[in-house]
Amino acid sequence: MGYKYNKENILETGYHVLRKNGYHKVGINEILKEAGIPKGSFYNFFESKEDFTVQVIQQYGRSNRQWMEKFFQQEMSPLALVRAFYKHLIDINEQDDYASGCLVNAMSNETGRLYDELAKASNESFESWIEVIAEIIKKGQDSGEITKAHTAKELAEFVHTGLYGTFARMKVTRSRQFMDQWFDMSMKFIEA
Amino acid sequence: MGYKYNKENILETGYHVLRKNGYHKVGINEILKEAGIPKGSFYNFFESKEDFTVQVIQQYGRSNRQWMEKFFQQEMSPLALVRAFYKHLIDINEQDDYASGCLVNAMSNETGRLYDELAKASNESFESWIEVIAEIIKKGQDSGEITKAHTAKELAEFVHTGLYGTFARMKVTRSRQFMDQWFDMSMKFIEA
DNA sequence: CTATATTTGTACCGATCGGTCTAATTGGTC
DNA sequence: GACCAATTAGACCGATCGGTACAAATATAG
């Protein structure tokens, strides 16, 4: 029962710190300092650093899925929505000065083969997002805007992991140039 | 002036340790132990952990490029070579039990926005490989096997970063299923 | 109010971090 | 052989790591 600190706020802080720095670079003390809580409270809320990170991923997975569902409810054609969605993600990363990419991609790459619980949480978030993207792509296929050469889920996975691939290039070049190039090619790929 | 230890061997050890564990998970002591050298020798060869890692990336970048150039000299059509190349990379990752992916992708994601020298080294290795892949794709375009809808370099970058994107999925699902799916879709994408 | 359980705050733990220092050893040159 | 520079060896440095211990403070139940 909530006393002084709020678990969701701590997870939110963890999201920002982990997204920018990765898992092994960040120490518990950095999170305590950033969130303004003492260590006792942290280990009251969370069993371990891994458990904390799992919950960060889960909370982000849920809130991002909700945001996506809302985004795809805008009044536009399915293909236009997909285009706007990825354009928006690229814009966000530019505003972020190319510092972070996606938490789930970062955690998957850095810890996916090292810690089972982190892998599971990352995978579940990813798949939950793919459901939403596949749904809008399916609508585009039904309306004839999007290719039926592959299933909606295959297209969603192909495009979204494609974006993840560009994050490595983005971080290293500190530029959106390659993401824009990827965008044009990917959007052409899914067009009917 | 080589005394007792060989710099290339130390870098080779570093390659394996860093590829599997990432940058921040690995301590100098682990590399010393794995390579069987004392700390004094390490800091005789390398200025710092970052300098060491830069040289690991550079050596791997060079040796991998040489391997690629040889691979593409096999007696096959350009498209068949590209297919065989990526099939082979997927096979390697399966044999590796999906533990590592690509060092350059891992370093780019984990450290690309954090350390300038690591970013530079990662970027240079990546671009050096893209040159080789673009070359074989160009040949495929000239022979009519590969689409001319995009330049050879654009296609090479799109495909290769696409593969990088799948590594996150691979590590988290511990399976080649998604890589195979990506392979089919990507190869279809570049076909004329 | 008292009794009890939970949360908060901080000191502390052994282990490890990246890196320095210096002595002993080695190899090459005269 | 003597001499010097480079290399090797590992003890040592302060800082930080993830996590524990425990007492003080706080909230809830009666």
The pLDDT value given to residue A13: 97
Range A131-160 average pLDDT: 98
In chain B, residues with a C-beta closer than 8 Å to the C-beta of A169 are 108, 126, 157, 161
Digit-coded pLDDT (tens) for B154-190: 999 999 999 999 999 999 999 999 999 999 999 999 9
User: Which pLDDT score, from 0 to 100, does residue A25 have?
Assistant: 98
Q: Is the CB of B39 under 7 A from strand D?
A: yes
Could you tell me how far CA A183 lies from the centroid of its own chain? 17
Is residue B62 over pLDDT 90? Answer: yes
Q: Which residues of A touch B24 (CB under 8 A)?
A: 22-25
Sign of the Cα torsion A59, A62, A63, A68 reads: positive
- How far away is chain A from the Cα of B24, in angstroms, using its nearest Cα? 5
**Model pLDDT for residues B98-120, shown as the tens digit of each residue:** 999 999 999 999 999 999 999 99
Grade residue B3 by pLDDT with cuts at 50, 70 and 90. confident
Question: Measuring CA to CA, which residue among B158, B186, B150 is closest to residue A163?
Answer: B158
Whether the CB-CB separation of A68 and A132 falls below 8 Å is answered with yes
CB contact under 8 A, A172 and B119: yes
Q: Does the pLDDT value for residue A1 go beyond 90?
A: no
Give the pLDDT of residue A2.
67
Residue B147 near residue B166, CB atoms below 8 Å: no
Looking at chain A, the whole-number percentage of residues with pLDDT higher than 70 is 99
Nearest CA in chain A to B99: A113
Per-residue confidence (pLDDT) for residue A3, from 0 to 100: 79
Q: Which residues of B touch A185 (CB under 8 A)?
A: 150, 154, 158
With bands split at pLDDT 50, 70 and 90, how would you rate the model's confidence at A113?
very high
Measured CA to CA in angstroms, residue A156 lies from A144, A147, B1, B16, B182 at distances of: 16, 12, 56, 33, 11
Contact between A161 and B154 using a beta-carbon 8 Å cutoff? no
pLDDT tens-digit readout, A95-106: 999 999 999 999
Rounded mean pLDDT, A99-127: 98
As a whole number of Å, the end-to-end CA separation of chain B is 54
Q: Which nucleotides of D are covered by protein (CB under 7 A)?
A: 6-12, 16-23, 26-28
Asked whether residue A30's C-beta has any atom of DNA/RNA strand D within 7 A, the reply is yes
Q: Which residue of B has its CA nearest to A25?
A: B24
Quick one: pLDDT band at residue B1, thresholds 50, 70, 90?
low
Tell me the pTM.
Answer: 0.95
pLDDT value at position A4? 84
CA→C1' distance for A139 and C20 (Å): 64
Contact between residue B18 and residue B56 where contact means Cβ atoms under 8 Å apart:
yes
Q: What is the pLDDT of residues A67-80, one digit of tens each?
A: 999 999 999 999 99
Q: Tell me how many residue pairs between chain A and chain B have CB atoms under 8 A apart.
A: 134
With 90 as the cut, is the pLDDT of residue B148 above it? yes
B119 contacts A185? CB cut-off 8 A: no
